Amino acid sequence: MGGGRSLAGDITPFAAPEDLHWAVSGGAVRRERTGGGVMAILPELRPTLVVMLGDPHFLRAAEPGAAWACVPDAAVWGPALHARRGWTAGDVRAIGFGLTAQGVRALCGVPPGRLFDRTVGLGEAGEAFAAACRVAWTGERPDLVAVLAALSRLLGAQPEAPVAAPLVLDPDATVMAQARAAGLSDRQFRRRFAAEWGAAPKVWQRLARVDAMLAALHPRSWEPVGGGDPAARFADEPHLIREFRRLTGFTPRAYRRAVAASGTPTLRSLPLPGEAPPEPAARPPG
């Protein structure tokens, strides 16, 4: 697998203001010309609020024959364990915000686990937010002050207290040890984590290790790799290759080759030449 077409674009991260830290962990501005080809959208741990301001964006499951759906301009992308396919006619202008569990609740009224492998629009409030972001992006870069002010209005007031303290999972520590540290039994910890995040802790740890490898393999990664060598988290090289391919559809070598050939600035979006885009009838007019 790999990509032969050249993409042009960049990603610029930015920090979230302190008064939004309860809901947003950070953000990034993305500009890219995809050339109208189908992209592999790789699994992603973090729930994200994405506002798409360029051409309409389509998603479908990776299985052959799966139906395409047009993504709303402003949508919450839940944690994803499975790879998907994406398509945009050519112009990607997007602003993404990493969401905390409380941020997902503020926007969707449910924990992140209820949005697992789903992309959910935000109705009229989302349309108003996208419109405000579009007004703020009239030059080369968006006016982030205006964008963050619109985000604050979308999120509303910070809750006085979270529903429950979110469970934070260390990908390198045993689940049993983390359950004890949280004052929970092993069964309680697993049940609470799956209810909050949509997958068992062991599955989440596997994805976290592969996710760290994506950042390590990308030559222009804008996400920190973290301490230590992420390859050391795997028993050996065959284990690394097997896990990476199982969760992404690429071997590490094929991933690195596709990134180099396409020049994509993204870690989790790779071109798939030869895959058919949505039928013209499925696309919105204009």
Give one DSSP letter per residue of 28-69, joined into a string: EEEEEE-TT-EEEE--BSS-EEEEE-SS-EEEEESSTTPPPE
The per-residue pLDDT for 159 is 85
pLDDT digits (tens, 9 = 90+) for 189-216: 999 999 888 889 999 999 989 998 998 8
pTM of structure:
0.90
Residue 262: both structure tokens together: 């396409």
Q: Are 129 and 51 in contact (CB under 8 A)?
A: yes
The per-residue pLDDT for 262 is 86
State in Å, rounded, how far the first CA of the chain is from the last one: 33
Overall average pLDDT of the 16-45 stretch: 90
Sorting pLDDT into bands at 50, 70 and 90, what band is 274?
Answer: confident
> Around Cβ 117, how many Cβ atoms within 10 Å?
15
Sorting pLDDT into bands at 50, 70 and 90, what band is 227?
Answer: low
Cα(142)–Cα(208) distance, rounded to whole angstroms?
A: 31
